[in-house]
Structure 1
Amino acid sequence: MAKPSEPTKDSHVAVLAFPFGTHAAPLLAVTCRLATAAPSTVFSFFNTARSNSSLLSSDLPANIRVHNVADGVPEGSILTGNPQEAVELFLEAAPEIFRREIKAADTEVGRKVKCILTDAFLWFAAETAAAEMKASWVAYYGGGANSLTAHLYTDVIRENVGVKDERMEETLGFISGMGKIRVKDTPEGVVFGNLDSVFSKTLHQMGRALPRAKAVFINSFEELDPTFTNDFSSKFTRYLTIGPLALLSSPSQTSTLVQDPHGCLAWTEKQSPASVAYIAFGRVATPPPGELEAIAQGLESSKVPFVWSLQEKNMVHLPKGFLERTREQGMVVPWAPQVELLNHEATGVFVSHGGWNSVLESVSAGVPMICRPIFGDHAVNARSVEAVWEIGMTIIDGVFTKDGFKESLDRVLVQDDGKKMKVNSKKLKELAQDAVSTEGSSFKNFKGLLDEVVKV
């Protein structure tokens, strides 16, 4: 038997991505690290063609084979435009799609899959791996320990608070580490929203299935949420925090990260330390048009220097003349080098939807946040930013208004509250850097993940 860190020549790992939002990119980044560390192992990366095309991964390690899989949309179907429709069609078709594609890859590679490494949303791999392929299942959860706890304890939460709206303000003190999290902060599908939708049921089943995984890993670090780390260590066969990935950029991603086609970094270089508001909501979670207008009005009124990453299709919602009037104050661009901007000394606040990858990138850079949750795990992340880690705040009144945004910027960038947030952010940044050092918890946990994925 080979040592876990020295895989046998016939190692073959199937990696199953969830092709929506920002799930696939970090999973590919982890796969690149694993492939580099285990060059004799073949990693078959399965993802939809549309998602694969957006990952910009032309220089992957030679032992990664990228496969395009069907998206689950029936031939000839015309989707309504509701993003959840495409997600649910994919989830319903995914078990059969991946089963078929893994078998084809087995034949192509000439090696049986020994481990199925999946996004945790694809929980059905528990059955596929164990019952049909005699392979181990390792799951990557794309959010933080806070939202993972909500899904792991969904049945407990429902038993304690039911699904009644009048209890939304109550906290989840009956769950370890959730004492400052309110019922209304939990993701949709736990106690509110359509609990019978395909997506809600998927998350519920995921929470029940994860304890059966050989290992569960997330993009975080133990020191950020030590209470959750201790709890998960007793709930999962093996729980591994291997982040922040923002501090461990894959070689294949480096060339992408340093691109700056709109000159954001050169402009930021001319600004005073901790003065710039960087604003970005990603490509999925954009606030509605009225709030985009309010953001612009708040920025112009505040005179705060800014870099705003906003998709071109949404620029039509900016107030007339805004771009001309604020030409010296800031810049609105369709894409910005987020990690580099957050790490620039001139950046003083990150205005975000509160998605997990964005939160952890801000933590890694030591930059306070203003969060405007939109869906999914955004609310529990924003609540953690504000009440647990105290490194930022949720936007005043929960939505962007001109005066509320202006006041929020002033609080973080100028007031004493903001100074405390900056101190707390710096402390977390130092803990994050320690975690990924050669003696750190995330460095050691990655070696543990490598062992679980490649050993036979």
Structure 2
Amino acid sequence: MGKPHVLAIPYPAQGHVIPLMEVAQRLANSGIRVTFVNTEFNHERVIKAFSQTGSVHELIELVSVPDGLESLEDRNDHGKVAATILKIMPGNLEILIEKINRNESDEIICVLADIYMGWAMEVAEKFGIKKAAFLPASVAMLALTINAEKLLDDGIVDSNGTPLKNKMIQLSPSMPKMSTMNLAWCLPDLTMRKIIFQSIIQNNKSIKLAEKLLCNTSHDLEPGALAFLPQHSSLIGPLISRHGNSSGHFWPHDSSCLEWLDHQPSNSVIYVAFGSFTVFDQTQFQELAIGLELTNRPFLWVVRQDMDRAYPIGFEERVKNRGKMVSWAPQQKVLSHPSIACFMSHCGWNSTIEGVSNGVPFLCWPYFGDQFINQSYICDDWEVGLGLEKDENWIVGHEEIKNKVEQLLTGDANYKITTLELQDKIMAGVKDSQKNFYQFVDWIIKGN
């Protein structure tokens, strides 16, 4: 009899792959074999990044299935990705499981799927194997998506997910407030918005098949949202790599930034990173550059290779002694570095978790999806950061950037102390998260 074998499948986006890969690493450390299924496009990127900056546990096998898109099609078109996945990937996943299960000693006994890949629960049901879902986002985000139909019935959105009124809503009195203009599916493209909204409603039905739900959160982070979780849920967050060596990145890290940080004063550096999707036009990019220059503070700025990187004339020369630009950074190691003073972030849930787990205050610049909910947590609930406001042209100006940095780091409210207090609470709950995780392992192996 071989080792227990789990198939893990994330939603094909960076912020979904990394935390599920951390779960896979922990399963492997517990003696469970994992087949980790990326789309072919993302598989190539992960393998290439691994070859330069990392490795994977010997019990984890990285495999791929087609996502149905052509190689040059835009994977940032979330509507197209969601629609094509639903048509193409279920059949490909069935073929993969059938192939693996031909060897009886190697059979898949559990499918662990991203909660937004609910169709994978239907595939597991066909094979009569255990079904578990993983929530890589906040529980507040889950609460929003599972209430999508209620928002439709209550007349807050129409059948395409478009808000009928510009107002603030709360799913419960203990939850963060949300603007109807910033609901997770409210993308500018109306066709894309409709596809995402309808796929969420469909996904809500599929995910009910899950027997277990693992959540990358904790009681101290989201006490008010936990009432929305089904009874079979377990909190296993924060999912932070113990040595800062998170896996599953789409780009290799530029580790030279760690050596650069070693030469900066303690609690001095502005870390600037906006995840894998955020896009700035040229005006906004230059305003950000000028704003960082005006702070007169050292900064580490992650400027992805796919960004249009036209810096202001003379900028690189002027900031060469206190500014470091890299194409991708080992973020967990950066955020745990003593020289970091604050984190200018898009507020993806992984970045949010990593920042508060390392006691780093935030400057919030959300882009889409759950990032606006996460900003509400950071600024309103936890009070560990400030939001960056856009002007009448929808631009965050250089003076706004300069002023908010100063307010965060030298203002009357001591955001650093508040963040360290939250960090202490989160870290105190890690034992409970570990216990929940080992109970999940027992369920996989023994059915308990």
**Cα drift, residue 241 of structure 1:** 1.7
**Cα drift, residue 100 of structure 1:** 1.2
Q: Give me the TM-score of the superposition, normalised by structure 1.
A: 0.86
Q: Is 2:120 the partner of 1:125?
A: yes
More off after superposition, 331-340 vs 276-285: 331-340
Aligned to 2:128: 134
Aligned to 2:239: 245
Taking only the aligned residue pairs, the percentage that are identical comes to 25
Q: Which of residues 352, 355, 368 in structure 2 aligns to 1:362? A: 355
Secondary structure at the counterpart of residue 69 of structure 2: coil
Structure 1 residues 269-301: Cα deviation after superposition (integer angstroms, max 9, x where no partner):
333332211001123223332211111111112
Pair 369,82 (structure 1): closer, same or farther in 2 beyond 3 Å: closer
Whole-angstrom CA distance in 2 between matches of 1:265 and 1:44? 32
Structure 1 residues 384-434: Cα deviation after superposition (integer angstroms, max 9, x where no partner):
2111111112212274211111111111111123x1x22221112112222
Q: Which of residues 394, 408, 433 in structure 2 aligns to 1:412? A: 408
Whole-angstrom CA distance in 1 between matches of 2:389 and 2:187? 25
Aligned to 1:180: 177
Secondary structure at the counterpart of residue 216 of structure 1: strand
Q: Is 2:300 the partner of 1:296?
A: no
Mapping 1:328-407, distance limit 5 Å:
328-397=321-390, 399-407=395-403
Q: Give me the TM-score of the superposition, normalised by structure 2.
A: 0.87
Aligned to 2:97: 102
Contact 2:278/2:367 (CA < 8 Å) preserved in 1? yes
Aligned to 1:200: 197
Aligned Cα root-mean-square deviation (Å): 3.0
Q: Is 2:33 the partner of 1:42?
A: yes
Q: Which runs of 5+ in 2 are unaligned?
A: none
Secondary structure at the counterpart of residue 426 of structure 1: helix
Q: Which runs of 5+ in 1 are unaligned?
A: 1-7
Secondary structure at the counterpart of residue 283 of structure 1: coil
Whole-angstrom CA distance in 2 between matches of 1:293 and 1:184? 26
Whole-angstrom CA distance in 2 between matches of 1:195 and 1:392? 31
Contact 2:182/2:368 (CA < 8 Å) preserved in 1? no
Q: Which of residues 37, 57, 61 in structure 2 aligns to 1:61? A: 57
Q: Across the two proteins, how many residue pairs are aligned to each other? A: 434
Contact 2:245/2:332 (CA < 8 Å) preserved in 1? no
Secondary structure at the counterpart of residue 71 of structure 1: coil
Pair 161,369 (structure 1): closer, same or farther in 2 beyond 3 Å: farther
Alignment-mate amino acid for residue 181 of structure 1: M
Whole-angstrom CA distance in 1 between matches of 2:434 and 2:10? 23
Structure 1 residues 244-265: Cα deviation after superposition (integer angstroms, max 9, x where no partner):
12253587859x9997532x23
Contact 2:131/2:211 (CA < 8 Å) preserved in 1? yes
Alignment-mate amino acid for residue 40 of structure 2: A
More off after superposition, 218-227 vs 65-74: 65-74
Q: Is 2:432 the partner of 1:441?
A: yes
Contact 1:176/1:231 (CA < 8 Å) preserved in 2? no
Secondary structure at the counterpart of residue 162 of structure 1: coil
Alignment-mate amino acid for residue 19 of structure 1: P
**Cα drift, residue 23 of structure 1:** 1.3
Whole-angstrom CA distance in 2 between matches of 1:242 and 1:312? 33
Contact 2:45/2:251 (CA < 8 Å) preserved in 1? no
Structure 1 residues 206-260: Cα deviation after superposition (integer angstroms, max 9, x where no partner):
334434311111222222112222441xxx2411121212253587859x99975
Secondary structure at the counterpart of residue 68 of structure 1: strand
Pair 362,228 (structure 1): closer, same or farther in 2 beyond 3 Å: same
Pair 165,238 (structure 1): closer, same or farther in 2 beyond 3 Å: closer
**Cα drift, residue 371 of structure 1:** 1.5
More off after superposition, 160-169 vs 352-361: 160-169
